[in-house]
Amino acid sequence: MKEVLTNPTAGYYMNRDVFGQTGDFITSPEISQMFGELIAVWLVNEWTKCGRPTPFQIAELGPGRGTLMADILRVFSKFKIAGSDFSVSLVEVSPYLTQVQEKQLSPRQAQEATKLPQGSQHYKQSISFYGSQVRWYNHIADLPRTFTLFLAHEFFDALPIHKLVKVDQGWREVLIDLNREDLTLRFVISRDRTPACLYRLDNESREELEVSPQSLIITQAMAARIHQDGGIGLVIDYGHEGDKTDTFRGFKNHKLHDPLVDPGTADLTADVDFSALKWAATHPRTFEDWKANLTFGTVDQKDFLTRVGINLRLEQLLASCRDEDVALNLKSAHKMLTDPMEMGSKFKFLALYPSVMEKILERYPPPGFV
């Protein structure tokens, strides 16, 4: 899965624009500005709850086209949060999408890239339309040590998974094998236990499950930063609370696609196990004596967006709209984002906070989650 998606020369994400109507799938920020605007207002509110520390950074993992970050920066500018107050840190491995993001966020994208200081952890930098520094990183571990608003929208679903099944001999892993007769790919079950089998729980009641060790590592890294340097995390993705089994699939041209056919031409994805992310966020990687981080959620996207005001925002946009087609598109986007049969119940929201905010959050719980 990792090879198919991020191989430097032939990886699915590495050299093409896979988003939108002309791509293989569409994301919430691409559907309507309302989504990004409400996320931005939520971030401003929670940053204010923390005492408005500066400088700080917004760190987005897997920023796609940069549409969500563009909406966030626009809203931040309305709150007079710009310039040297904060920077934007984007964790992106795709050279092609890096260029798309720079064009979306920076007026200087056509100019020659600024020469990076020696020893820089980032591989690219620019200035946003609103005057803030924008820097690109390969890994979350490379991010600057400062107060951080972490954002991961449809990021964890693309991270590699191991699929485990319970057979008569115990747990075994589903592997990918080459059918030598016709040179096609096929699923096979490992003869013996593999290291991935260690990830299943002793009290696991399911007969098959998917685990993503990389997701746990990244979540623990994010939680450690939030604890040590201050910050908040917001994870948005389609997923479950540790109850689903077989969710691995491919998407091509907005339709389901056999993940073993023409690898590299279709998106590979699996539902996020939010119960595993919450475990990782509240269990440190070391035996340091610190209290576990706090998590809120998951809640359905419909409930979150409704609680933070998407209906009111729709009314505002419709009131200022003079084009009937634009108005219809706004209503259609609202329905797609909130309808339980569309994205409303498929996507979940999870928030991460440092344990020192426990008393504050008891009095002022995070909007959208209650």
CATH number assigned to the domain comprising residue 253: 3.40.50.12710
pLDDT, position 344? 93
Average pLDDT value over all residues in the chain: 90
Please tell me whether residues 294 and 268 are part of one structural domain. yes
- pLDDT-based confidence at residue 271 (cuts at 50, 70, 90): very high
Does residue 88 belong to any structural domain of this protein?
yes
pLDDT digits 0-9 by tens, 225-256: 999 999 999 999 999 999 999 999 998 887 88
User: Which of 175, 192, 208 is the last residue in one of the domains?
Assistant: 208
| 261 and 332 together in one domain | yes
Q: Tell me: the pLDDT tens digits for 43-61? A: 999 999 999 999 999 999 9
Any residues with CB less than 8 A from the CB of 285 and at least 6 apart, and which? 220, 224
CA 84 to chain centre: 26
Asked if 70 and 88 touch (Cβ cutoff 8 Å), the reply is: no
User: Is the Cα dihedral 43, 229, 153, 123 positive or negative?
Assistant: positive
Measured CA to CA, the distance from residue 57 to residue 72 in angstroms comes to 12
**pTM for this structure?**
0.91
Question: Does residue 350 lie in a domain region?
Answer: yes
The reply to whether 199 falls in a domain is yes
> Are the CB atoms for 108 and 127 separated by under 8 Å?
yes
Do residues 143 and 184 both lie within one domain? no
CA atoms within 13 A on the CB side of 212: 30
Residues 370, 365: Cα–Cα separation, whole Å: 7
Beta strands in 54-205, from DSSP E residues, in sequence order: 56-61, 86-91, 124-127, 133-137, 147-153, 162-167, 170-179, 184-189
Please answer whether residues 104 and 127 qualify as being in contact, where contact means their C-beta atoms are separated by less than 8 angstroms: no
Q: What is the pLDDT of residue 285?
A: 64
pLDDT mean over 330-340: 95
pLDDT category of residue 108 using cuts at 50, 70 and 90: low
Say whether both 219 and 204 belong to one domain. Answer: no
For residue 287, pLDDT beyond 60: no
Considering the domain architecture, whether residues 170 and 302 belong to the same structural domain is answered as: no
Residues 221, 200 share a domain: no
Give me the mean pLDDT over the 190-208 stretch: 87
pLDDT for the residue numbered 51: 94
Find out whether 86 and 58 touch, Cβ atoms under 8 Å. Answer: yes
Q: Is residue 51 part of a domain?
A: yes
Nearest partner of 311 among 73, 38, 36, judged by Cα: 38
Is residue 123 located within the same domain as residue 256?
yes
Place of tokens 């086209």: 65
Per-residue pLDDT band at 77 (split at 50, 70, 90): very high
Confidence of residue 23 (pLDDT cuts 50, 70, 90): low
Neighbours of 176 (CB within 10 A): 14
Mean pLDDT in residue range 263-291: 82
169 contact partners, CB below 8 Å, separation of at least 6: none
Number of compact structural domains in the chain: 2
Rounded distance, CA 238 to CA 272, Å? 6
How far is Cα 194 from Cα 317, in angstroms, rounded to an integer?
54
Give the C-alpha separation, 316 to 113, whole Å: 39
Q: Which domain holds residue 168?
A: 162-208
Q: Are residues 329 and 351 in the same domain?
A: yes
- Same domain, yes or no, for 280 and 196? no
Q: Under a CB-based contact definition with an 8 Å cutoff, are residues 111 and 103 in contact?
A: no
162-171 pLDDT per residue, tens: 999 999 988 9
Q: Is residue 368 part of a domain?
A: no
User: Quick one: 286 and 166 in the same domain?
Assistant: no
**Domain check: are 260 and 339 in the same one?**
yes
Per-residue pLDDT band at 83 (split at 50, 70, 90): confident
